[in-house]
Structure 1
């Protein structure tokens, strides 16, 4: 009988995934629903409740002591609310109190999805054994999280480490967040693809205009595709170097779909980092691909719940709302 399980929720614009996770990070049971992202808030919440209901009918549920949520952001862990950009029906939505009710009153921890991925990578992945780390998700958006002094550092609202909205181009394009020249506006998958198309790259017969298609073209030597990834790598390097200069991280871990481009991204990224991370105390910075893969959100949400339950990361846990 498992007696120390955590229920984990990974909430994004495409899917709501749930799992029961044990104390060593193993997923014992899964449930999933598509996110009805364009529907009203209560309809989205019903999908979350359906995932929890599927988990709670298992005999394993009796050993579950907390719920961890990693959600697309912004989140506000101090208020227990979420306002995911890609779920318009949720604005200041009281997710923590609704999940607590659906989970029979169990304690609930909430973090942003970038912080969840960071918790997973520090517990199980490429940042394991490092006391100071930046972990990033580079996909449709660019998110991230920090480990400082050996502990997850979510910040008061659960959004610390959100590197996607550091400005690296003072006169750059307007970002949907309202600022200019953000890392995300240059380095996210859709923006890599947009820039390649604007500069003359054309998709193959299948019409695939994704960043993965641009990466394939870059691997084949297409100069416009190569240049678009180099520009993304430069933006990421500038953001990573700024973070390292500010808080002295030892490793930057990069996950998400765009990291799947492999050397097309990592070779120019490591090269650009030498141009930006120039001070003596940031020159030894390691850059590594993430290891926890598609389960990072679930494993990280479980880690955040465990931390909150043990009192190590009280800022993660919301008891209000």
Structure 2
């Protein structure tokens, strides 16, 4: 059966898998980015390459340029206009390589392997982690946009008087609801991890929020409010009926999702927005890899 290489370029980790047309993962590997992201990418591909691969799909943190096959992930400063399509194609002896955003691949993966095609005409996938990304699947096709950057929900402005974002804009969702942003805000407002030896990160913050620690709960509520604004804006523009939330911060589960659903319900105006469903990813960290594989397998 036809198999392809799927690559997921995240803000802290690179992952890859060999996936066939039925969605079976034959091999999988992941590595921290490390000091040399290009060397890490080469190592990942070489670990997974095998005879007979028909192509490769890449989901990368953005922004990216589809026409040039380059990526400039905000959280990987060493990569600016990095020619990732050419790099991977050369490592695979010239097989076709398809590129999309990491959250676009997450959305497509959820559509293909997560069972959402049965009830969602318009799906928004969001990744809440080191950064915040998004991707749209409309009528069964991932929408990339002319430059490949459609769905950048993390860079919708929700607080014009807020903090400057690494992207250069002010008050982006990412400055409030990403894992590092939530942690910074909580620390500035009196939070300290309840477990003395715990790292002050989003994982510890979620654990303390579940225990009812006030600054931790407030950090999640603040993030949920910003995300709700962005999600409702997107739903109003694109008539989205399903939102699937993934990423490291989303692993907090109902600690985030319950507050997010509450914030959406409180802000919903137009009646058609009342049908918006918010669900946690059913595929976890593999969603982006499935989507990258779908790009390579179908050209979608």
Give the shorter-chain TM-score range. over 0.9
Structure 1: gaps spanning 5 or more residues: 314-321
CA positional deviation for 1:28: 0.4
Kindly report which structure 2 residues correspond to 1:231-270, keeping only aligned pairs within 5 A, or say none.
231-270=222-261
Check if 1:52 corresponds to 2:41.
no
Alignment partner of 2:114 out of 117, 125, 129: 125
CA positional deviation for 1:301: 0.8
**Distance change in 2, residues 1:260/1:46 (3 Å):** closer
CA positional deviation for 1:48: 2.4
Partner of 2:271: 280
Check if 1:111 corresponds to 2:100.
yes
2:74–2:167 Cα contact (<8 Å) kept: no
Give, in whole Å, the separation in 2 of the partners of 1:208 and 1:15. 19
Give, in whole Å, the separation in 2 of the partners of 1:46 and 1:17. 14
The alignment partner of 1:65 has SS state of: coil
Check if 1:146 corresponds to 2:136.
yes
Give, in whole Å, the separation in 2 of the partners of 1:75 and 1:230. 31
Check if 1:183 corresponds to 2:173.
yes
CA positional deviation for 1:126: 5.7
The alignment partner of 1:128 has SS state of: helix
Deviations 1:241-290 (A, max 9, x none): 00000010001111111112122211111111012221011111101001
**Distance change in 2, residues 1:213/1:49 (3 Å):** closer
**Distance change in 2, residues 1:30/1:268 (3 Å):** closer
2:198–2:204 Cα contact (<8 Å) kept: no
1:126–1:289 Cα contact (<8 Å) kept: no
Kindly report which structure 2 residues correspond to 1:1-321, keeping only aligned pairs within 5 A, or say none.
2=1, 4-36=2-34, 38-39=35-36, 44-56=37-49, 58=50, 61-62=51-52, 64-125=53-114, 127-129=116-118, 130-204=120-194, 205-308=196-299, 313=300
Runs of 4+ off more than 4 Å: none
Q: How many residues align?
A: 298
2:117–2:140 Cα contact (<8 Å) kept: no
Give, in whole Å, the separation in 2 of the partners of 1:208 and 1:197. 12
1:126–1:253 Cα contact (<8 Å) kept: no
The alignment partner of 1:244 has SS state of: helix
CA positional deviation for 1:293: 0.8
Give, in whole Å, the separation in 2 of the partners of 1:29 and 1:233. 36
CA positional deviation for 1:296: 1.9
2:8–2:16 Cα contact (<8 Å) kept: yes
The alignment partner of 1:300 has SS state of: helix
The alignment partner of 2:89 has SS state of: helix
CA positional deviation for 1:33: 4.0
Structure 2: gaps spanning 5 or more residues: none
CA RMSD of aligned residues (A): 1.6
Give, in whole Å, the separation in 1 of the partners of 2:202 and 2:115. 24
Give, in whole Å, the separation in 2 of the partners of 1:15 and 1:267. 28
CA positional deviation for 1:295: 1.4
